Chains A and B, each alone.
Chain A
Amino acid sequence: MIELRQVVKRYANGADTLTVLKGIDLRIEDGEFVSIMGPSGSGKSTLMHIMGLLDAPSSGTYVFDGQDTSALSKPQLARMRNQSIGFVFQNFHLLPRMNAVRNVELPMLYGGIGRGERRSRALELLGQVGLHERAFHWPSALSGGQKQRVAIARALANNPRLILADEPTGALDQKTGREIMELLQRLNAAGTTIAIITHDPNVAAVANRTIHIVDGVIVDEVHAP
């Protein structure tokens, strides 16, 4: 599905440069459930942004679905984000001025899907995450767990092959966090590849592979028994 080879990410930090990722080699196969752990500031989010085509490596190669992403134009990258990748963020990142169903419709809007189909699929997805009754609520009227479920429904809108989740349970209480993880597990069981960043060992335990990053380097890789 994806492969990173010697991926380096540097940021200019005043006069000197800050190297956040220091040569990451990583392959994730179709249908895998991978968790990424590591201390704060170790470069996990940066890695996920590169995997999600929101950011480009400073050096190294990133191959997505057999394609070297450095060769892709900006509109092509936008198209791949739209069609093949779904993001779930710690802070949900719902658009506050749109109700739940319109948030879920957004990726389909950019994907060029017609109004009627968009609405019915968005409602169906909200039903799948157990939010049918909340479809026309504003984000501000939803609890954290409900917001995250809207965000997951939105990530699923265009049937992406890869879901990237950056501490999706980080802002939730334990019980709600478990519910979200069960939802992601169900998706994975249905065939979607998932990469999840987490601090929580219980969350990581759900994955079939866990990668540990420290200071921009993969230090350990654990396969679930």
Chain B
Amino acid sequence: MNVLEMFRMAFSSLLTNKLRSFLTMLGILIGVASIIAIVAIGNGGKAAVLGAIANQNLQDTIEIIPSELVAPGLPQPGQVLSIDDEDFSIAQSFQGVSQVNYTIYGTSTVSTSSRTANVSIEAGPSDLDDLARFTVIEGHMFQTPDVIAHRKVAVLSTSLAAKLFGNGNPIGATVMVQGTPLQVIGVAQSQEANLFSLFLGSDYLYMPATTCRDLYPNWGISEMDVQIEPGANRDQLAKRIVTALNIHAGNAGAFEDSSGFLAGIAGTVQKVTTILTIVIGAIAGIALLVGGVGVMNIMLVSVTERTQEIGIRMSLGATRGAILLQFLIESMTITTIGGLAGILLGSGVGVAVSVVTGVPTYVSWPISVLSFLFSAVIGVICGLYPANKAARLDPIDALRYE
């Protein structure tokens, strides 16, 4: 008799005891569902953090920052407080470097005739809008001539524009920054989907770096953006420039490649989420094992209850192999259906978590397939002892069993 027949038989046998079959399945179901959900949520969180980091990190740009700035506190002796023109010319002198720009970051207030708001100011070269994180949705970004001419123009993030102008059109309007009127020439999408906006807020004002230096002469230049030529080895170049800058500053740790810093964070995030996933996964695995023990227990009860059935089947010509397979397949059917339901439930939980928290979740296909196979294997392992017990029954003893 073929395996398909045996599955059909197993199904109808499990259907005659629906509640019991369901309760037995529950252990496996919960174990698999928690594994699927945990991995989905873990992967989603990891991808969100790594995606945010990758978003800040461009392939053709090296972002160099003075080291200690990333660890706020009192200035250390030998700490570089602002990148200066000599540093720029050092970076510019390397072969493979096409252009060196700088970005100034700061916080200030901005006002219209009626409203005032706190903002993060980001001032840079005209190619700021090449960065993936900028999407200008109205007007346009400032251009190279604006930077060269120290023009008093500004681009607002959508949330800042809404704060200052409500539903009105900000393009062409004037905002006051540091007592100086700036003309609004564009609106860029706020970075709401970006994890960094959680910490940094989403009210941004962008202006040409030259203008910013005019308005805030005391602000240090905290980032150097080194554009590299296509084909140049980014990481190697970054190392050499940082080393040269450090030698110039007379401090081996004066500068660093901030993408390296971000890569470090990314690595830590990877490690932490991987460890968390393994630990929680192991706990879920233990839950699965407990579910398996439940399956074994019920299969033993089932074999005892159906002793006479086994005897009758043997009298009708069932071989020991057929009896063994029958119970193995029954136990495997319980665990694989439980496993499938667990995959569905776990994915559902993942989706629900993503809807509620806004952090995306990713159901892992390999883990789903693996959990499915694992639940089938648990079915076989936990069914083996009861099924063997059934198959080894003596036909006559089984038939006479009351």
Contacts and interface: CB of A to CB of B under 8 A. Distances in A.
Given A55-B396, A109-B5, A110-B322, A97 B315 contact: no
Interface stretch (B61-69, B94-102, B220-228, B306-314): B306-314
A54 B396 CA distance: 6
Contact of A75 (B2, B313, B319): B319
A112 B2 CA distance: 8
A52 interface: yes
B316 interface: yes
Given A49-B396, A54-B396, A97-B13, A82 B5 contact: no
Interface string A153-184: 01000100000000000000000000000000
Contact of B317 (A81, A93, A97): A81
B1 A97 contact: no
B394 to A, nearest CB: 8
B312 A78 contact: no
Contact of B320 (A74, A97, A111, A115): A74
8 contacts: A52-B315, A54-B315, A74-B319, A83-B317, A87-B316, A93-B308, A93-B399, A111-B317
Interface of A: 49, 52, 54-55, 74-75, 78-79, 81-83, 87, 93, 95, 97-98, 106-107, 109-112, 115, 154, 158
A54 B317 contact: no
Interface string B298-333: 000000000011001111111111100000000000
A98 B13 CA distance: 9
Bin chain B's interface residue count: 20 to 34
Contacts of A115: 5
Contacts, number: 62
Nearest to B395: A54
Contact of B309 (A52, A75, A95): A95
Contacts of B320: 74-75, 78
Nearest to A154: B316
Contact of B315 (A79, A83, A87): A87
Contacts of B5: 109, 115
B74 to A, nearest CB: 81
Contact of B321 (A54, A75, A158): A75
B368 to A, nearest CB: 32
Interface of B: 1-2, 5, 9, 12-13, 16, 308-309, 312-322, 395-396, 399
Q: Which of A54, A78, A87, A112 has the most CB of B within 10 A?
A: A78
B316 A107 contact: yes
B315 A106 contact: no
A49 B2 CA distance: 28
B318 A95 contact: no
Contact of A78 (B13, B319, B396, B399): B319
Contact of B314 (A54, A83, A97, A112): A54
Contacts of A54: 314-315, 395-396, 399
A55 B395 CA distance: 8
Q: Which 5 A-B pairs have the closest CB atoms?
A: A82-B317, A78-B319, A110-B317, A97-B16, A54-B395
A82 B399 CA distance: 16
Given A97-B13, A97-B16, A110-B322, A81 B396 contact: no
Nearest to A93: B312
A154 B316 CA distance: 9
B395 A79 contact: no
Given A55-B396, A97-B13, A78 B314 contact: yes
Contacts of A98: 12
B13 A82 contact: no
A78 B321 CA distance: 10
A55 B396 CA distance: 7
A165 B44 CA distance: 68
A220 B12 CA distance: 49
A110 B316 contact: yes
Given A52-B315, A75-B320, A81-B315, 11 more contacts: A74-B320, A78-B318, A78-B320, A79-B319, A93-B308, A97-B12, A97-B16, A98-B12, A109-B1, A111-B317, A154-B316
Contacts of A106: 313, 316
Contacts of A95: 309, 312-313
Contacts of A111: 317
Nearest to A118: B5
A116 B309 CA distance: 24
Contacts of B308: 93
Point out which of B1, B312, B317, B321 has the most chain A C-beta atoms below 10 A from its C-beta: B317
Contact of A79 (B13, B317, B396, B399): B317
A36 B8 CA distance: 40
A78 B308 CA distance: 17
Given A75-B321, A112-B1, A82 B396 contact: no
A107 B396 CA distance: 18
A133 B308 CA distance: 28
Given A75-B321, A97-B13, A97-B16, A81 B316 contact: yes
